[in-house]
Structure 1
Amino acid sequence: MRRTLIFLAAAVFSIPVLAMHCPKDMAEIDAMLESNPPSDSEVRERVAELRAEGEALHNAGDHEAAVEALGEALELLETAS
Structure 2
Amino acid sequence: MRRLALFLAATLLSTPLWAMHCPQDMAQIDAFLKSAPPADPEVLAQVQKLRAEGEALHKAGDHSQSVKVLGEALDLLQASE
Query: 2:39 aligns to what SS in structure 1?
Result: coil
In structure 2, the residue matched to 1:40 is: 40
In structure 2, the residue matched to 1:26 is: 26
CA shift, 1:38, in A, is: 0.5
Q: Aligned-pair RMSD on alpha carbons?
A: 0.4
TM-score, length basis structure 1? 0.98
Residue by residue, what CA displacement relative to the aligned partner does 1:27-74 show, whole Å, maximum 9, x if unpaired?
Answer: 000000000000011100000000000000000000000000000000
What 5-or-longer segments of structure 1 have no aligned partner? none
What 5-or-longer segments of structure 2 have no aligned partner? none
Count of aligned positions? 81
Report sequence identity in percent. 60
TM-score, length basis structure 2? 0.98
Structure 1 residue ranges, 4+ long, deviating more than 4 angstroms after superposition = none
